[in-house]
Amino acid sequence: MADNDLYMVYHGLLLPKIVHSEESLKYLENFQVKDDDVFAVTYPKSGTTWMQEILPPLLNGGDLTSVETIPNWDRAPWLEETRAALVLDKLPSPRAIVSHMHYHLMPPSFFKSKAKVIYVTRNPKDVIVSSFHFHQMASFLEDPGTFEEFTDKFLSGKGTTWMQEILPPLLNGGDLTSVETVPNWDRAPWLEETRAPLVLDKLPSPRAIVSHMQYQLMPSSFFKSKAKVIYVTRNPKDVIVSSFHFHQMASFLEDPGTFEEFTDKFLSGKVLFGKWTDHVKSWRKPELGDRIMYITYEEMVQDLHDALSRILKFLGRELSAEALDRVVDHCTFKNMKTNKMSNYSLVPQDIMDNMKSPFLRKGVAGDWKNHFSPELDAKFTAVIQEEMKGSNIRFPWE
């Protein structure tokens, strides 16, 4: 399948057509950000799903109902995906929202709001490993080629699911109902994907929303709001490994090819949502001030209890010790992997083949070491260091 059959281009970024459309991106641009919205922003394969699990119970008083009954794409929707319009406007405040968008692509209302942002970063070596495997399993993504080829794409160009799990219970007093009964794509919808118009406007406040968009592509209302952002970063080496496996299991992505081929794509930015370095740097904006929290996938792996405590403090919310412990236990990778509302097992096998590679694969830091040759590691590190030069951003994996 040709790339133009799988992807569309939005402000220079490749987006998979299966969850993005002209309508969903128009919805993104016009989306009205609320001051109590909480955004979890990541580069792909850096912890988005994790944040979709974490935020709903944190925002709901520790209630785990949503994470046990609602798919993560609806309880913390993607801002930029097609389901956003179906879910986001119906979510009660405070909403948890996830995104992969760059800062400059956020909606105009974001820049006028007081919404908060949690930006999760992951070691780019782990990012590329995760992305490589994702490309192998996702039929809607192109074949990543060899790992070396995918690395080249990556360099020329983290845990979103985790945040979809985390944010709803944090925003709802620790209530786990939604994370147990609502798919993660509806409890923290993607802002930029096709479901956004179906979901986002129906979510009660505070809404948890996820996005892969760069800052400059956020909707205009974002810049006028007080909505908060949690930006999750992950080691890009683990990102590419995760993405590689995802491409292998997702039918809507191109075949990733070998890991080396996929790495070449990753480094050249010929992968979904562009270069990892551009994404990370786009969200380092002084004007965001205390609206944004930066956290890494690696910090969450090392001490999830501390990470959730810090997120609660950032959101200005409190949970009882018992409720927080319950949310932390629910949001462990082991428990998310068995939660059908979070592990994407509800998606038909012809779209995402978990037999090729499970969507929630390992949930560890450092798996890139099992994929990178010394030569590829040196090449990857040199490109990332050169492109991050002068940014003054430091990561725990360095």
Checking DSSP bridges between strand 7-10 and strand 13-16, what pairing results, if any? antiparallel
Task: Output the DSSP codes for 295-340.
Answer: EEHHHHHH-HHHHHHHHHHHHT----HHHHHHHHHHTSHHHHHT-T
Q: Encode pLDDT of 158-208 as tens digits.
A: 567 777 888 888 888 888 888 788 877 777 877 777 778 778 888 889 999
Q: Per-residue pLDDT averaged across 30-41, rounded?
A: 94
Q: What is the dihedral of CA 130, 136, 138, 140, to 10 degrees?
A: 120
259-277 core/surface letters (b: 16 or more CB in 10 A; e: else): bbbbbbbbbbbbbbbbbbb
pTM exceeding 0.75: no
Domain boundaries, the chain: 31-388
Partner residues linked to 100 by β-bridges = 212
Is 311 a residue whose pLDDT tops 70?
yes
Say whether the peptide bond before residue 206 is cis (omega within 30 degrees of 0): yes
Contacts of 178 (CB under 8 A, 6+ apart): 56, 57, 60, 63, 64, 65, 66, 67, 68, 69, 70, 75, 168, 169, 172, 187
Q: Hey, what CATH class is 31-388 in?
A: alpha beta
Query: What does the pLDDT look like over 265-296, one tens digit per residue?
Result: 999 998 989 999 999 999 999 999 999 999 99
For 151-171, write each residue's pLDDT tens digit.
776 765 556 777 788 888 888
pLDDT band (50, 70, 90) for residue 2: very low
CB 56 within 8 A of CB 208: yes
Place of tokens 């969903």: 24
Residue 212 designated active-site: yes
Q: How far is the C-alpha of 92 from the C-alpha of 106, rounded, in Å? A: 21
> Which one of the listed residues 212, 245, 247, 330 is annotated catalytic?
212
